[in-house]
Homo-oligomer: A and B are copies of this chain.
């Protein structure tokens, strides 16, 4: 199987889907002629024509609003928001429209569509190129929220999202686009080709939405992570030598709570990590659910390692980012025998 970067895997998912299904269309700012500022849609306009892959005006409201209309018609739109930080102008169309259309019309109209957006920091992008707004989607009934951590999942999950009958928010950790970044920013960059999960088949396949996966089995503590933080968790486990069980959630809503509960019941300890702002981040939901469901198995409180409650800073990126050091400290704390 060919090794692909995350970008290539995402592109391949769209390519395969456009090939199989004429209803699939792709658009966004700089997405058409140029192929996207991160090159995820490169070549698609040439291959499928400008009416299936095109540039849009700089209006996130318009991009998502038009997608809702297209989906209501019966197309399968894939809308790209250039950075997750720029999704706010589209938030009304996402929350009030895409998410609620099926419910409010009792199935008369639906919005099967994907909104893709690069998220997360680690590229010195400061407050408007670094955000992780997943919790703003997980709070909204009617949305599914997906976030892959590697090329294999990225392709499979994106195809599953395109074929899903509900609106799916597809978050792409941009720091993973070109390599499996583990938070050791001072070490040489590792390419995806060195990572087994960059084996991405050419053909169509899906990774199911709503299914987490255990990335590393362990007995000392359960780590709940997604996106870039899966790699950070792996680094922290390695750095500390703690036998952590690392769960890659892959889908935040609907959440694969069974996999989580099974693990925490085994380890009795749990650390939740994410890059987003701490207060009301998705980690709060995870911590709340774990203590609700595993209370009598827990030896320690569920710990959260997250971005701070500040806007994402520019120069202090690495002080903000919850890297392997901070995660490692939490692993130590969670597993300490006191």
Contact = CB atoms under 8 A, between A and B. Distances in A.
Contacts of A138: 279-280
A106 to B, nearest CB: 11
Interface stretch (A9-17, A49-57, A183-191, A295-303): A295-303
A241 interface: no
A214 interface: no
A311 B105 CA distance: 12
Q: How many monomers of this chain does the complex have?
A: 2
A135 B103 contact: no
Contacts of A295: 298, 300-301
A282 B279 CA distance: 9
A279 B96 contact: no
A112 B92 CA distance: 25
A85 B96 CA distance: 8
Nearest to A292: B301
A288 B128 CA distance: 28
Interface of A: 85, 88-89, 91-92, 95-96, 99-100, 103-104, 127-128, 135-136, 138-142, 253, 276-277, 279-285, 287-288, 291-293, 295, 298, 300-304, 308-311
